[in-house]
């Protein structure tokens, strides 16, 4: 039986990266929209520009997009929503979880969008893994 768009939309993948860094420090850096271009190559090609209750970001594949973030919190929640021009807003769940006094885990859940084929889903998963590795390198460098 061939998968339907509904089957694809229900798919998700949790991509993780262990980091030798206290989780609160990781959260502060990862939650700063101005630091996104330092590690999130899949999302931000250049500096984000504040615009009312959201930010404007230039993405590598979709051009300009609106972006908003979960409010600052003490739970490590870094969820964000991205709306490329002409496309419905996409929810991106992201967490920083303390696993030891000096270590944390970055957890990003990739939710397959209805328009994504297998190759696009896999490409996005690999890109997110590279971005989490870049964030790890940035955090561990101090």
pLDDT tens digits, 25-56: 999 999 999 999 999 987 877 788 899 989 99
The widest CA-to-CA distance across the chain, in whole angstroms, is 50
Gap between the Cα atoms of 82 and 118, Å rounded: 21
Q: CB–CB of 13/100 below 8 Å?
A: no
Please write the tens of the pLDDT for every residue from 80-135.
999 988 888 999 999 999 999 999 999 999 999 888 899 999 999 999 999 999 99
Tell me what percent of the chain is helix, strand and coil, each rounded to the nearest 5.
30, 35, 35
Domains delineated in the chain: 5-140 (3.30.530.20)
pLDDT of residue 1 exceeding 50: no
Percentage of the chain surpassing pLDDT 90?
70
Taking the CB of residue 112, how many other CB atoms lie within 10 A of it? 20
């Amino acid at each position: 039986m061939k998968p339907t768009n509904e089957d694809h939309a229900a798919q998700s993948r949790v991509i993780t990266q262990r980091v030798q860094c206290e989780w609160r420090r990781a959260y502060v850096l990862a939650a700063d929209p101005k630091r996104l271009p330092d590690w999130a190559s899949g999302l931000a090609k250049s500096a984000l520009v504040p615009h009312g209750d959201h930010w404007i970001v230039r993405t590598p594949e979709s051009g300009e997009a609106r972006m908003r973030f979960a409010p600052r919190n003490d739970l490590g929640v870094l969820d964000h929503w991205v709306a490329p021009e002409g496309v419905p807003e996409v929810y991106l769940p992201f967490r920083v979880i303390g696993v030891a006094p000096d270590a944390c885990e970055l957890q990003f859940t990739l939710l397959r969008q209805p328009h994504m084929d297998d190759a696009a889903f896999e490409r996005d998963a690999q890109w997110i893994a590279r971005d989490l590795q870049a964030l790890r390198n940035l955090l561990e460098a101090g």
